Amino acid sequence: MRSLSFIPVVCLALLASCVSSPTPAPQQQEAPDTTAPADDGSSQAYKDRAKALVQGGSATGSATSQASSSGTESAAATESVDAPPPAPGVMTPEEEAFLNNYLARLQYMVYFDESAGIDPKNAKVAVNQANRYLIEKLGLSVVDFDQIEKNKKDQQAAYQSETGGSIDLIQYIAQKYNADVYVEISFSSTSSASGGKFYSAAQGSMKIFDTSTAQLLGSVAFQSPQVMSPSSAESAISNAVAASVWTAMPKMTEQSRTLVKNSMSRGIRYEVLIQNTPDSRQISTLRRALARVVREVEQVSYSPSETKLALYTFKSRDKLEDAMYDAADRAGLLDLYLVYSRGKAFTFNSGL
């Protein structure tokens, strides 16, 4: 009985000894020695890494900033360059709208062929009848016959001064009145009398010219039926002329629109004369600047005293004048100014 009670006492003593015994000193000293170098190395590694990240981030930020700056400059450069004109034969919606509006508002100047030996009274009848059709049927403004006759006398000095006789006087007057086409009427008549009545018939043609170039665009033939007048042969002839011209006008105006449209595949042709052009390189720069904003640029002639250009574009006269100033600024011709304009012809001075 005594031997059995001894066993639990021994076990309890051993357990208490294990719990209360201190950790050996060498183990407590080794732990700090082992962990200290690891902490130092880790801290240094973190510092090195942080330094690399800071430097790398700075470089990356700089590169990003440079790329952004470069992109901005590139975008700005792109915005400053004018979009090139469309390919030949291809029109933008804006150009199509401009052309349709232009054709709907074609301006005419009608006169007669002075070399055909037409009686002045009958010539006036023909022109007035054509103008009457343009006013009443198309609602257009016209250049009256008497206005043309007056200008032929009053504009002789200006005509010689501006053109030197290089173009026809009638073409000059048509340009002065901003006509897009001028129409030249030529006709002859036959007459007869029977039973106290007078009969007449007229036949002829209407030639359609481009006002800018005097190019013949087309021709419309006309002929009247025999017309009777009870009063006189002159009255019969006047009636025949008036009837034949009135009948031919619808065909003439329709053909004019078609012919002008066909001739405008590159746009409206403007003639530009620049006075005082001593530097051919500067003119070359001007041509290239203009080519960015108009359909086509042709240099007709060059000399140090003047340069002639033909510009093709779907722009109004005012817009073309503005384009000339913009192109001149790019070419260094900052003092370029307009001397005068007539129809689709402009004369500038370089200001040099």
| 342 band by pLDDT with thresholds 50, 70 and 90 | confident
Helix (H, G, I), strand (E, B) or coil at 145: helix
CA 332, CA 277: separation in Å to the nearest integer? 12
Q: Measuring CA to CA, which residue among 244, 254, 144, 145 is closest to residue 186?
A: 244
Q: What is the pLDDT of residue 78?
A: 39
CA 236, CA 201: separation in Å to the nearest integer? 8
| Whether the predicted pLDDT of 199 surpasses 60 | yes
**The pair of three-digit structure tokens given for residue 137, joined into one six-digit string:** 């049927």
In tens, the pLDDT along 224-278 reads: 888 999 999 999 999 999 999 999 999 999 999 998 888 888 899 899 999 999 9
In tens, the pLDDT along 56-99 reads: 444 444 444 444 444 444 433 433 445 555 665 678 888 889 98
Q: What is the pLDDT of residue 76?
A: 39
Q: What is the pLDDT of residue 273?
A: 95
Beta strands in the chain (DSSP E): 108-112, 181-194, 197-210, 216-223, 227-229, 268-275, 296-302, 306-313, 337-342, 345-349
Report the chain's mean pLDDT, rounded to a whole number.
81
- The residue-averaged pLDDT of 163-176 equals 88
Q: Can you name the residues that pair with 228 across neighbouring β-strands?
A: 199
Higher pLDDT, 80 or 212: 212
In tens, the pLDDT along 123-169 reads: 999 999 999 999 999 999 899 999 999 999 888 888 888 888 888 99
Q: Measuring CA to CA, which residue among 162, 115, 124 is closest to residue 146?
A: 124
Residue 142 contacts residue 181 (beta carbons within 8 Å): no
**The pair of three-digit structure tokens given for residue 293, joined into one six-digit string:** 């904003």
Q: Can you name the residues that pair with 191 across neighbouring β-strands?
A: 200
Q: What is the pLDDT of residue 309?
A: 96
Number of C-beta neighbours around residue 99 at 10 A: 18
Helix (H, G, I), strand (E, B) or coil at 38: helix
**The pair of three-digit structure tokens given for residue 12, joined into one six-digit string:** 């309890």
Q: What is the pLDDT of residue 344?
A: 87
* 76-85, 170-179, 327-336: segment of lowest average pLDDT: 76-85
Question: pTM higher than 0.85 for the full model?
Answer: no
| Whether the predicted pLDDT of 48 surpasses 70 | no
Q: What is the pLDDT of residue 262?
A: 85
Percent of the chain beyond pLDDT 70? 75
Q: What is the pLDDT of residue 86?
A: 60
Helix (H, G, I), strand (E, B) or coil at 194: strand
Cα angle 199-205-208, degrees, rounded to a multiple of 5: 150
Q: What is the pLDDT of residue 156?
A: 86
